[in-house]
Homo-oligomer: A and B are copies of this chain.
Amino acid sequence: MPVTMRDVARVAGVSVKTVSNVVNDFAHVSPTTRERVRAAIDELGYQMNFTARSLSLGRTGMITLAVPELRLPYFAELSDAVIDAAGAQGYTVLIEQTGGSRDRELEVLTSARRRMTDGLILSPLGLRAGDAPVLEVDFPMVLLGERALHGRVPHVAMANVDGARAATEHLLGLGRRRLALIGTFDREGVGAGALRTRGFLEALEGAGLEHDPHRTGEALAWTRATGAEAMRAVLDRGLEVDGVVALNDVLALGAMSVLHDRGLRVPDDVAVTGFDDIEEGRFTRPSLTTVDPDRELIARTAVDLLVDRLRNGPVPADQPAPEVVADCVLRVRASSTRPG
């Protein structure tokens, strides 16, 4: 059943080299021969065996994208963008879900399955600062969304601190002074959570204010459910809240559901900001003010950096690994618009 290049060669009366030349559009094949080969291919219904080609070439044309969970809109939209960007470069994307757990992330880095693809784009959540050595891998890799985990790996980050500071300053500019912080939970201080928290605190500090830790709602995973829970926890402490800075959009949406249930109006009583600019936030009512990190750019940059490594080999030892930090833009929407 399986038709090979040799079969095609035999039927066309040429050698496998010639068939290969035709299939790969190489020069130096006479039009007559080319046509004969084409005809044989059609006649036999020949389709190239990608695995054999991969073995021979030493590359597969596939890359792995490892994200926490596709059901989180940010990662779904990011994966969408990565798949498109990779496709534009001729690569296909294999997706691994780590659930954000350190073990699964280490497994992605070390398991034999990794060798099914040419390179890896990893969006780590569970890796700790001390895990830098495991990132010392011998295959092309790009890190996403984190900074300073390891200096030798190219990575694409976003302006987490700036973005969160801008969101916070925006709320302060509305006259809100009792801000809750939703979603922080980062003992290591290396993740996006820690950076966004820092931006939040810097903004308060800049306004001469101090953050009351009782207005912090922790959330280990960043989902609507944990955002709701964190918001509930803060409100249950009985403190007044007139603004919410959520560390990402789904947390913000979860928080808004609780505010609604408690009879607090957004933005009249409580103004809310998120982070990520997921599509959902443009259609909730009120729509969600958020920080837009330009996912398309991040995805394209990550793919380009990886493809660069794939084509040109590892970063020379005397050069720093590329680090791109995407700018963030505050998108003000109804959840933080002064009523009236």
A115 and B2 alpha carbons, distance in the complex (Å): 12
The docked-state distance in angstroms from the alpha carbon of A237 to that of B50 is: 55
Q: A308 within 8 Å of B by Cβ?
A: no
Nearest CB on B from A191, distance (A):
22
Kindly state whether residue A71 has any CB partner on chain B within 8 Å.
yes
Complex Cα distance, B256 from A93, in Å, reads: 35
Pair A83/B97 contact, Cβ less than 8 Å: yes
CB contacts (< 8 Å) of A283 on chain B: these are: 224-225, 228, 253-254, 257
15 contacts between A and B (CB under 8 A): A47-B115, A48-B115, A51-B55, A51-B116, A52-B55, A54-B54, A55-B55, A62-B116, A69-B80, A70-B76, A71-B76, A76-B79, A94-B94, A224-B283, A257-B283
By Cβ-Cβ distance, the 6 closest A-B pairs, closest first, are A76-B76, A260-B285, A70-B80, A224-B283, A71-B80, A51-B54
Q: Is residue A112 contacting chain B, with contact meaning CB distance below 8 A?
A: yes
- The distance in angstroms between the C-alpha atoms of A146 and B116, with both chains bound, is 32
A38 at the interface (CB under 8 A from B): no
> Which B residues touch A282, using CB under 8 A?
224
Whether A92 lies near B92 (C-beta < 8 A) is: no
Range for the number of chain A residues in contact with chain B: 35 or more
A85–chain B nearest beta-carbon distance, Å: 12
The reply to whether the CB of A280 lies closer than 8 angstroms to some CB of chain B is yes
Complex alpha-carbon distance, A97 and B279, angstroms: 18
A254, B79: Cα distance in complex, Å: 23
A1 and chain B: residue at smallest CB distance: B138
Supposing A55-B51, A55-B52, A71-B279 touch, asked if A92 and B116 sit within 8 A by C-beta, the answer is yes
B279 touches A112 (CB 8 A): no
A50 neighbours in B (Cβ, 8 Å) = 112-113, 115-116
Q: Give min CB distance, A22 to chain B, whole Å.
A: 14
Residues in A69-99 with C-beta less than 8 Å from chain B: 69-71, 73, 76-77, 79-80, 83-84, 92-97
Q: Mark A106-135, 1 if CB is under 8 A from B, else 0.
A: 000000110110000000000000000000
Interface residue? A284 (CB, 8 A): yes
A69 cross-chain contacts in B, Cβ below 8 A: 80
Would you call A93 and B95 a contact (CB within 8 A)? Answer: yes
B113 touching A92, Cβ below 8 Å: yes
Q: Does chain B have a CB within 8 A of A42?
A: no
Nearest neighbor of A69 in chain B, beta-carbon distance: B80
Least Cβ distance of A205 to chain B in Å? Answer: 32
Q: Are A280 and B224 in contact (CB under 8 A)?
A: yes
Q: Give the residue of B92, B95, B261, B285 whose beta carbon is less than 8 angstroms from that of A257.
A: B285
Rounded to whole angstroms, the CA-CA distance of A80 and B72 in the bound complex is 10
Within 319-335 of A, Cβ neighbours of B (below 8 Å) are at none
> At the interface, yes or no: A273 with Cβ under 8 Å from chain B?
no
Least CB distance, A97 to chain B, in whole angstroms: 5
Q: Taking the complex as formed, is A101 at the interface, i.e. its CB lies under 8 A from any CB of chain B?
A: no
Is A18 among interface residues, defined by CB-CB distance under 8 A?
no
